[in-house]
Amino acid sequence: MLAFEATWSLMTPEIVLGALAMLVFTIDFMTGIHEKKPFIGRLSIFSLLVTAVLVLVMNPQGGQIGDTFLVDPFAMVFKLIILVGVALVIMMSMNYLDRNEDIYQGEYYSILLFTALGAMIMVSSADLITLFIGLEIVSISSYALAGFKKHNIDSTEASIKYIVLGGTASAFILFGMSYLYGLTGTTSLYEIGAAMPELFADYTVMIMISLLFMLGGFGFKVSMVPFHMWAPDVYYGAPTPVTAFLATVSKLAAFGIIIRVFTLGFESIYAEWAFIVATIAAITMIVGNFIALTQQDVKRLMAYSGIAQAGYILVPIATVLNNFSITVIIFYSVAYIMMTLGAFSIITLVSEQSGRKTGMDTFAGLYQRSPYMAVAMAIFLLSLAGLPFTAGFIGKANIFLLAINGNMLWLAIIMIVTSIISFYYYFGVIKQMFMAEPKPNAEEIKVPGGIQAVVTVTLAGTVLLGILPNLLLDLFTGFNWMI
């Protein structure tokens, strides 16, 4: 616990990213409020790439700063996922921002950089206070991002809903944390984990309250089912690139801390909470997939699809917590961020071309209007549904096999059945793109460079991981995730 012996150099990527985010912020207010500032977007992408390189260079040897800040393969891979995810979000935002006059460009980019910073702190933390600060950096920035179109009623309303419910979720997390602190006298997850078996025997009720409150609060961030009500409304109202951010980076970072807290802190009482998580995973998959069947709006559909995907990622956590299940989760996270960001970049493109509407019919005849985008979107959706030869299929197959081997047959069956149901609503969009005639006034879509780049990168990732999953799986299997 001696903070003075800490090797602060482990924090270099975070410090550099923080400094660059400040720099972007400063350059922004020195260049006026209403300009278009594509160079700030490029600078932000550059900062994220610099940070990613620093993570790759500085982090592999591992280490920790006084039990509060951990650098291990788990944190490193999650940081890379987050940085690449935010860079892709910024790339798809650049054209969107140019077309929407009511968004202040510089602040948008610097806030996104700060969320990346917060998410990096989240996945690296091994202490309740550090974890909470990282979580709140991400949350508060997300509230602001969701309401970024401040003259648009839907956007501000999404934002107020998000802040009211998100603040409540934070209060739940804190309340759970306060009991954990009170019973152990420490906020370090290692020490809490060491004291847990004895503690659970003495104070069963209080530990369960604290566990459930924290699970509920984190569950809000990943939109698992009893706490998912905000997701469709916020996803619908927020600017589309921000929706992409909330559906991917914010959700995966929250999964990162769920895994971290439950592995380090609550592993010794695994038997007590595994069934709760399994039940929640089952309900999440069922509710997410069934409500998605009735959606007529693409962003809402993607929200429910994201809820269902959160259910799939919960299955390995509920089955067993070991090195292999973390490998499975991280592989699925990589696949998920690829296909979801790809799908959202095409939704951004199409909705901008059709007067900022996001109804299912805006996709009518996309194949005639832009064949590449239509085929790419079809592949992303099929990957989300889990068709073979896509990254989504490999990820789901791994989760399925893990659940069967871990004696969670009922969960595996629910997963398969709901995945099959999900084909129906994904095919609804695909049918619109290929079978329906384009609207009479629809013209050919000109694809801006940023979106083209995002789609190409994510498409390559989705297909490559579907055909050669061992590229990543072999690498991941060699990691000892948690130190």
Partner 1 sequence: MTVPISYFLVLAAVLFCIGLYGVLTRRHLVIVLASIELMLNSVNINLVAFSAIGPYADITGQVFSLFVITVAAAEAAVGLAILIALYRNRDSIDVIKHDLLGTDKEKSVSTLQ
Nearer to partner 1, 88 or 180 (CB): 180
Asked if 197 interacts with partner 1 (CB under 8 A), we say no
Window of 131-139, 403-411, 439-447, 450-458 that interacts with partner 1 by CB under 8 A: 131-139
**Beta-carbon count within 10 A of 313 CB:** 25
Three-state SS for 235-288 is HHHCCHHHHHHHHHHHHHHHHHHHHHHHHHCCHHHHHHHHHHHHHHHHHHHHHH
Asked if 210 interacts with partner 1 (CB under 8 A), we say no
Site string for partner 1, 317-356 (x = CB under 8 A): ----------------------------------------
Which one, of 258, 257, 254, 241, lies nearest residue 302 by Cα?
241
Amino acid at residue number 214? M
Nearer to partner 1, 177 or 472 (CB): 177
Look at the block and give the residue holding tokens 């997963």: 415
Asked if 438 interacts with partner 1 (CB under 8 A), we say no
Determine which residue in the list 58, 174, 194, 320 makes contact with partner 1, applying CB under 8 A.
Answer: 174
Asked if 151 interacts with partner 1 (CB under 8 A), we say yes
Asked if 100 interacts with partner 1 (CB under 8 A), we say no
Asked if 212 interacts with partner 1 (CB under 8 A), we say no
Nearer to partner 1, 187 or 327 (CB): 187
Asked if 481 interacts with partner 1 (CB under 8 A), we say no
Give DSSP secondary structure letters for 39-64: HHHHHHHHHHHHHHHHHHHHSTT-EE
Window of 181-189, 411-419, 420-428, 432-440 that interacts with partner 1 by CB under 8 A: 181-189
Asked if 368 interacts with partner 1 (CB under 8 A), we say no
Residue 258 near residue 221 (C-beta atoms within 8 A):
no
- What is the rounded distance in angstroms from the CA atom of residue 64 to the CA atom of residue 124? 9
From residue 195, alpha-carbon distances to 66, 131, 186 in Å are: 18, 19, 10
Q: Please, what is the minimum distance in Å from the beta carbon of residue 471 to partner 1?
A: 40
Asked if 161 interacts with partner 1 (CB under 8 A), we say yes
Asked if 201 interacts with partner 1 (CB under 8 A), we say no
Asked if 17 interacts with partner 1 (CB under 8 A), we say no
- What is the rounded distance in angstroms from the CA atom of residue 320 to the CA atom of residue 300? 32
Q: Please, what is the minimum distance in Å from the beta carbon of residue 76 to partner 1?
A: 26
Three-state SS for 386-438 is CCCCCHHHHHHHHHHHHHHHCCCHHHHHHHHHHHHHHHHHHHHHHHHHHCCCC
- What DSSP character marks residue 439? P
Determine which residue in the list 63, 66, 167, 359 makes contact with partner 1, applying CB under 8 A.
Answer: 167
Window of 56-64, 166-174, 268-276, 455-463 that interacts with partner 1 by CB under 8 A: 166-174
Which one, of 424, 445, 436, 446, lies nearest residue 361 by Cα?
436
Q: Please, what is the minimum distance in Å from the beta carbon of residue 142 to partner 1?
A: 10
Amino acid at residue number 230? W
- How many chain residues bind partner 1 (CB under 8 A)? 42
- Contacts to partner 1 from residues 219-248, by CB under 8 A: 233, 236-237
3-class secondary-structure state, position 160: helix
- What is the rounded distance in angstroms from the CA atom of residue 108 to the CA atom of residue 381? 28
Nearer to partner 1, 226 or 449 (CB): 226
Look at the block and give the residue holding tokens 């202040």: 104
Nearer to partner 1, 136 or 272 (CB): 136
Window of 34-42, 47-55, 86-94, 171-179 that interacts with partner 1 by CB under 8 A: 171-179
Asked if 98 interacts with partner 1 (CB under 8 A), we say no
Residues that bind partner 1 (CB under 8 A): 128-129, 132-133, 136, 139-140, 143-144, 147, 150-154, 156-161, 163-164, 167-168, 170-171, 174-175, 177-179, 181-187, 233, 236-237
